[in-house]
């Protein structure tokens, strides 16, 4: 481990997920950010005097999905609070949030560690709140403010301090991302700020029960930085303690260019925000009926889907893990599998191989999202059908796949247009083999004299002469026959 092993880190994460509702949390303004700065606003999300916020029902539906998917208990009665602070991008002067009585509490998720063991991470609470606007500092001279984001619904997912390494924090963050995207409530991009993460980090000597003084690390805007920033902060705190000083409770900003954290401000206490119940909003009441309706509508969650892939398609666990990492990829694989003419363990494994290697390779190389991938799952399935029924060889299939990336034609059309059909005709293959054996009389003698490896040479020559289109099984059979005739 890259830190002094006498110490144990204690980490908890606060994750903000921006929800994919069509309108804002308490008004009907659009959450679509294609619009011009400061155009998607109204008196409600600006907090002008005399306006009344009205809660977006979808916000509650979305947070209930997350709460139920993370085994939280759902409060039948919860309230909104005002969190008061002044900031240029918060014209209201307060943020509507939940403080006492959050809607979801006491849940957990499971992460899988590198050694294959699973660990439960507690979820303290998940609550609803609204986002603030954006200050833009990198313009020529002045700071500009865009308030389009004011009032956009967020959920904040607060974990228990159960994480014991930067790696565990990274795995937990991935788990949260996987869940919100499977649930369809957030697009899960950290780089664009839809998913944001703050870490509470402290260290203590191994074996101690009491928690050390914690700091809060903000601004980790990619998965990689979550791990790096937390590791940096662990080492910084250990250095402070080792030199006989005390860790100061404060908020730190991760600077990804320099790879260091810098102090932002000393940590506010809750009372600094002067929380009080929002007098404009009524309590949120969630009855059993609503709860069970949402529970029934939950999609299959990643861990369940992974286990089903192993059961139903007889895939190795590794394949099932990779394929279910992202919902879109799992959907893609299942659509390929549904297109298969012959459905058995062997063809499912072929579908898995093509999805995991060829599809993922191109997605990574070309940095495209699966929804923009040119080869539809139907076409990939059809191409696998052509391999299975012997129309093309596995080798030619690689060429067909490359062609599908370019043309969007069906695999069948490509095979016909380019004349890529596999030749299984024995007499056609026999003619080529006769020719090759005649040209290589020395090698034939060597083979007949017991040099068996020359057989592979003849196969290679035949495939080359037939531009890879000969059916390898037939080539082997005919070749064996022809050589036998000469012995």
Q: Which stretch binds Zn ion (CB under 5 A): 34-42, 116-124, 212-220, 261-269?
A: 34-42
Tell me the closest approach of the beta carbon of residue 149 to Zn ion, in angstroms. Answer: 11
Helix, coil or strand: residue 326: coil
Q: Shortest gap between Cβ of 377 and Zn ion (angstroms)?
A: 40
Using the rule CB under 5 A, which residue among 42, 264, 405, 465 binds Zn ion? 42
CA dist 105 and 127 (Å) reads 8
Least separation in angstroms between residue 11's CB and Zn ion is 36
Distance between CA atoms of residues 473 and 459, nearest Å = 10
The nearest distance, CB 43 to Zn ion, in angstroms, is: 7
Nearer to Zn ion, 46 or 466 (CB): 46
User: CB 90: neighbour CB atoms within 10 A?
Assistant: 21
Q: Least distance in Å: CB of 7 to Zn ion?
A: 48
CB of 151 to Zn ion, least distance (A): 5
Residues in contact with Zn ion, total (CB under 5 A)? 5
Residue 27 binds Zn ion (CB under 5 A): yes
Query: Does 51 participate in binding Zn ion (rule CB under 5 A)?
Result: no
Residue keyed to tokens 């660990």: 119
Helices 441-448 + 426-439 axis angle, to 10: 100
Contacts of residue 194, Cβ cutoff 8 Å, sequence gap at least 6? 17, 18, 186, 187, 188
Q: Which is nearer to Zn ion, 41 or 415 (CB)?
A: 41
Please, which residue, 91 or 472, has the CB nearer to Zn ion? Answer: 91
Helix axes 166-182, 302-313, angle to 10 degrees: 80
In the complex with Zn ion, the residue whose CB is nearer, 45 or 155, is 45
- What mask, x for binding Zn ion by CB under 5 A, covers residues 107 to 126? --------------------
What tokens does 127 get?
């609550």
Strands (E), 77-151: 77-78, 81-84, 94-97, 104-112, 118-130, 134-136, 144-146
The DSSP element (H or E) to which 262 belongs, if any, is strand 260-266
With the C-alpha atoms ordered 294, 299, 305, 309, is the resulting torsion angle positive or negative? positive
Q: For Zn ion, which is the closer residue by CB, 148 or 352?
A: 148
Order of strands across the sheet that contains 7-18: 73-74, 104-112, 118-130, 153-159, 7-18, 195-205, 215-218, 250-255, 260-266
Give the nearer residue to Zn ion in terms of CB position, either 64 or 152. Answer: 152
b/e per residue, 16-32, with b = 16+ CB within 10 A?
bbbbbbebbbbbebebe
User: Closer CB to Zn ion, residue 27 or residue 400?
Assistant: 27
Token pair recorded at residue 424: 């299984």
Q: How far is the CB of 23 from Zn ion (least distance, A)?
A: 8
133 or 212: CB nearest Zn ion? 133
CB of 88 to Zn ion, least distance (A): 18
* Structure token pair of residue 75: 């409060």
DSSP 40: S
Nearer of residues 20 and 29 to Zn ion, judged by Cβ: 29
Task: Report which secondary-structure segment, H or E, holds 17.
Answer: strand 7-18
Q: Does residue 132 interact with Zn ion by CB under 5 A?
A: no
CB of 60 to Zn ion, least distance (A): 18
Q: Is 45 in the site for Zn ion (CB under 5 A)?
A: yes
Segment contacting Zn ion by CB under 5 A, of 27-35, 53-61, 303-311, 362-370 = 27-35
User: According to CB under 5 A, which one of 13, 17, 29, 220 is a site residue for Zn ion?
Assistant: 29
**Segment near Zn ion (CB under 5 A); pick from 3-11, 38-46, 241-249, 437-445:** 38-46
Angle, CA of 3, 9 and 10, to the nearest 5°: 165
104 binds Zn ion (CB under 5 A): no
Binding segment for Zn ion (CB under 5 A), chosen from 25-33, 70-78, 169-177, 350-358, is 25-33
In the complex, minimum distance from the CB of residue 46 to Zn ion, in angstroms, rounded to a whole number: 7
CA 402 to chain centre: 26
Q: Which stretch binds Zn ion (CB under 5 A): 1-9, 29-37, 91-99, 359-367?
A: 29-37
Q: Which is nearer to Zn ion, 47 or 67 (CB)?
A: 47
Closest by Cα among 62, 295, 321 to 171: 321
User: Taking the complex as a whole, how short is the minimal distance between the CB of residue 51 and Zn ion, in angstroms?
Assistant: 9
In the bound state with Zn ion, the residue whose beta carbon lies nearer, of 45 and 169, is 45
CA distance 53 to 253: 33
CB under 5 A: which stretch of 41-49, 107-115, 312-320, 350-358 binds Zn ion? 41-49
- The tokens for 80 are 């909104």
Instruction: Give me the residues that bind Zn ion (CB under 5 A), please.
Output: 27, 29, 42, 44-45
């Amino acid at each position: 481990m890259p830190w002094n092993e006498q110490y144990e880190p204690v980490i908890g994460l606060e994750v903000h997920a921006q929800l994919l509702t069509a309108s804002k949390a308490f008004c009907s303004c659009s959450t679509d950010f294609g619009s011009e700065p400061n155009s998607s606003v109204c008196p409600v999300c600006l907090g002008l005097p005399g306006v009344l916020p009205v809660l977006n029902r979808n916000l509650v539906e979305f947070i209930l999905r997350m709460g139920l998917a993370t085994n939280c208990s759902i409060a039948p009665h919860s309230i909104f609070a005002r969190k008061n602070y002044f900031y240029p991008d918060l014209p209201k002067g307060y943020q509507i949030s939940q403080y006492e009585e959050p809607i979801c509490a006491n849940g957990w998720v499971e992460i899988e560690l590198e050694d294959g063991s699973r660990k439960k991470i507690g979820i303290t609470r998940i609550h609803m709140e609204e986002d603030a606007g954006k200050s833009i500092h990198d313009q020529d001279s002045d700071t500009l403010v865009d308030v389009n984001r004011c009032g956009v619904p967020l959920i904040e997912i607060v974990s228990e301090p159960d994480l014991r390494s930067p790696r565990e924090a990274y795995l937990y963050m991935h788990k949260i991302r996987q869940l919100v995207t499977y649930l369809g409530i957030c697009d899960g991009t950290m780089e664009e700020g839809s998913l944001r993460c703050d870490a509470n980090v402290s260290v203590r000597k191994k074996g101690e029960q009491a928690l050390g003084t914690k700091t809060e690390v903000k601004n980790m805007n990619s998965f990689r930085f979550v791990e790096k920033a937390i590791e940096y902060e662990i080492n910084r705190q250990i250095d402070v303690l080792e030199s006989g000083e005390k860790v100061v409770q404060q908020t730190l900003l991760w600077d990804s260019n320099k790879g260091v954290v810098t102090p932002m401000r000393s940590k506010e206490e809750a009372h600094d925000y002067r929380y009080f119940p929002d007098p404009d909003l009524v309590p949120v009441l969630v009855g059993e009926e609503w709860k069970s309706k949402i529970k029934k509508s939950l999609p299959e969650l990643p861990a369940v889907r992974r286990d089903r892939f192993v059961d139903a398609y007889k895939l190795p666990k590794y394949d099932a893990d990779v394929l279910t990492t992202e919902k879109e990829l799992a959907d893609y694989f299942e659509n390929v599998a549904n297109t298969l003419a012959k459905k058995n363990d062997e063809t499912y494994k072929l579908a898995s191989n093509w999805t995991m290697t060829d599809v993922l390779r191109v997605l990574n190389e070309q940095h495209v999202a699966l929804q923009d991938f040119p080869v539809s799952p139907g076409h990939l399935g059809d191409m696998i059908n052509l391999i299975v029924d012997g129309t093309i060889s596995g080798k030619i299939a690689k060429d067909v796949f490359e062609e599908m990336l370019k043309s969007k034609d069906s695999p069948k059309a490509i095979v016909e247009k380019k004349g890529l059909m596999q030749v299984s005709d024995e007499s056609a293959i026999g003619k080529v083999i006769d020719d090759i054996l005649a040209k290589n009389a020395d090698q034939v003698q060597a083979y007949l004299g017991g040099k068996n490896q020359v057989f592979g040479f003849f196969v290679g020559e035949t495939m080359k002469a037939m531009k890879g289109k000969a059916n390898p099984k037939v080539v082997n059979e005919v070749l064996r026959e022809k050589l036998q005739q000469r012995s």
